[in-house]
Structure 1
Amino acid sequence: MSADVLALRPDYRALLLVATGLVPGQGEAGAEALLRRAEAHAITLLEDRPVEELAHVASWREAYRAFGAKPQRTRNSLEALTRRAPSGLPRVNPLTDVYNAISVLHQVPVGGEDLDAYRGSPRLVRADGTEAFDATSDGQEVLEHPEVGEVVWCDDAGVTCRRWNWRQGRRTALRADTTSALFIVDALDAVSDADLRAVATSLSDHLRDLGPDVRVAERLIGRVTRTDRGEVPS
């Protein structure tokens, strides 16, 4: 993680989880039940306040403004999912469904990537504007570039997620046949370290339902002293 990202939000932490041994097609029933819990939770959360007033959503709106993004136009992934949840979260594949549900239930942005599609290690930087981002627009594959100063996750081949946690790229997206995955959980001060540990436990437990030999390693980076319960591959 680059120092200029932490300069924007010194309270930022990232929880990285790597899951290996995933079996494609496993866990559909469990993922569906988790999605339904998340949808019900969102309805309860939004009974007495709009989504933009939820604590972590509001913090991420501030973070977006800090690097020049307009949060009402490009919503962080947590806000986008929480807004959608009362009318139904998307059903994509068990891996994606699980992390989307965990995001809403724990009120943290969560991203999922196919680890085998990575080129080098993931890193969080402020873009210089030349990086490649392979996306889809109106059903067509397009190559985009982030804005100068935008916070992006990237690897050696280009951007994997734009605007911190707004939009993930096509190249490293989770697929129905993914067997090794990287999950990134983003947190600001509205989420405590104890809350993050609870996210790690919940996500790990559900991932282990996606195959008999699933192994999960996690690492917490950012403002706090790094805590390892395994090693994230480079």
Structure 2
Amino acid sequence: MRDSISHSQDVPQSAPQAAPPHIVVLGIGNVLWADEGFGVRAVEALNAQYACAPNVELVDGGTQGLALLPLVESAHKLIVFDAIDFGLAPGTLDVREGDEVPVCLQARRMSLHQMGFADVLACAQLKGNYPQEIVLIGVQPVELDDFGGSLRDAVKAQIEPAIAQACRFLERWQAAPRARPASSASPSGAEPLNAASLALAAYENGRPSERLANRDGDTRFWRPQENV
């Protein structure tokens, strides 16, 4: 009996496998203001077209700002889709990595949600819970001041290239997504990230005419420039 026990103890024990890194793919922006919605539309399209590994979390972050801090802190690796003022030609896609990401978000802030998200990254860093790797996939907007409007064509055309960039990083991190069958490559073929009424097609097709719906926000408090 003793020999048997001794023998079993000499057998090399396999080391426990490390858990895969938690990867977050986050789309931020406001779909109510034209190209501001690019980040949300990109992550929605990624979710519709691809099934991701269990350690990959796709999130519509909207304009939640500091409420996204726990999510960012939980991420070992983070991909962010957003409309960014890179100072480039409208409709241009660009990718930034590492330390360039917070610098880019802070240098040319276009909206409150970007100010909030830059603060999220700063807080995560101060708390020592900053992602090991961070990637920003952004597009230079064409139009922002169109309340209730959708993406302009030049920006919408960058959704597929943006998804391809995200897939490239996911593959690098050993989390390559699987393309969904063509029959299900739509929001209805995957668990949606948002309410069905906010899906891109429904949002665009349901927009009232300009006669019925104001395009300039609440004009009780400001007037469009052309009417000043």
Using CA pairs under 8 Å that are at least 6 residues apart, name the structure with larger relative contact order, 1 or 2. Answer: 1
- More helix per residue: 1 or 2? 2
TM-score, normalization by structure 1: 0.25
TM-score, normalization by structure 2: 0.25
- More strand per residue: 1 or 2? 1
